[in-house]
Amino acid sequence: MLLDQYQRIANYLRIGVTDRCNLRCRYCMPEQGIDFAHRNDLLSYEEITRLAQIFRGLGVEKVRLTGGEPFVRKGIDQLIQQLCSIFPKVHITTNATLLDGYIEALKDMGVASLNISIDSLDRERFFSITRRDDYIRVMQNIQACLDAELSIKLNIVVMKGINDMELVDFIEFGMNKGVEVRFIEAMPFNEVDGNKDVFMPCQDIEAHIKANYPSMNILPSDGPSSSNLYQIGAYRFGIIPAYSRSLCGQCNRIRLTPKGEFLTCLYAKKGLNLLELLRNEGYNNDMIREAIVQQVQGKLKSGFDEEAKREERIFNSMTTIGG
């Protein structure tokens, strides 16, 4: 079992499989893209699978594939199949633009659920946020997942003055479709504007929804979760305090970046370079396992403590870490 110095169990691994993406969401990536990793600097599928087996041996039960956009990486279905044979729970976070043709296969492989990112229910606003006109495709793929009974949740990054006028629309949409929505605080990951001007804190999102649904209840946490949970009638939804970081005390997450850096916190300054260890013949699996155990033990109490150790405060793009 992976335990940190504050007795938190790390049993949920997020794997960033690529830093590339076919969208350019304004809070995530600059219009011109970023300095994308070269192929040789990315973990290969064989390397990810080798690490997956080591992490499984250390008690990790749940993985989430993320990126960049996981479905832009060639042959991703083969990796998903491998991971489904190693972990009890495999989840994927995706922008859903490229899901066509994969949905039945994901279900057959046993993928537990997809988190689909969609920041507007209005085509023009979707375009202005993502800088791509893919709204119709995303909506079609959301419906196709529902028709196939593949479990999904919707992720919405909330930006003041940009899409906060749609909070209630998203709740209504979620209620009508029977899909949980999760509103995410925008983090300062984007070298262009740092998302500061549009930041809307968790409490403001909550207050706005409460004003429209006075019967809204706050639910107690149901185990380690990145999200505050709420209920309106029988409908549940969440708000993720990604920037406020009020849920660090129950964090069970660890991360593998596309370039093989192992991070114990989204805000960590520097991780353990697992790609280097994997490609060093002097390192066997036992030695890599020990290095992972040590790294997890050193996890700090909160994302604020981790951030305080950083020299630079604004990151290039979330895609280099795996959101």
Interacting residues with ligand SF4 (CB under 6 A): 21, 23-25, 28-29, 67-69, 95, 117, 319
Q: Is the distance from CB of 243 to CB of 199 less than 8 angstroms?
A: yes
Which range in 131-139, 183-191, 259-267, 276-284 contacts ligand SAM by CB under 6 A? 183-191
Q: Within 10 Å of residue 42's Cβ, how many Cβ atoms?
A: 22
Structure tokens at 100: 């066509």
Q: Number of H helices and number of E strands within the chain?
A: 10, 12
Residue 295 site contact among ligand SAM, ligand SF4, none (CB < 5 to 8 Å, cut-off depends on kind): none
Whole-angstrom distance, CA of residue 15 vs CA of residue 48: 9
- Closest approach, Cβ 19 to ligand SAM, in A, equals 9
User: Could you tell me the smallest distance in angstroms from the CB atom of residue 106 to ligand SAM?
Assistant: 15
CB of 96 or CB of 300, closer to ligand SAM: 96
Identify residue 226 by its one-letter amino acid code.
S
Strands of 152-158's sheet in order across: 217-219, 228-232, 235-240, 180-185, 152-158, 113-117, 89-94, 62-66, 12-16, 253-256, 261-263, 272-273
Q: Taking CB within 5 to 8 Å according to partner kind, which of ligand SF4, ligand SAM, none is near residue 29?
A: ligand SF4
Q: Interface with ligand SAM by CB under 6 A: which range of 20-28, 80-88, 220-228, 251-259? A: 20-28
Decide: is 69 part of the binding site for ligand SAM (CB under 6 A). yes
Site for ligand SAM contains 67 (CB under 6 A): yes
State the nearest-atom distance from the C-beta of 316 to ligand SAM, in Å: 11
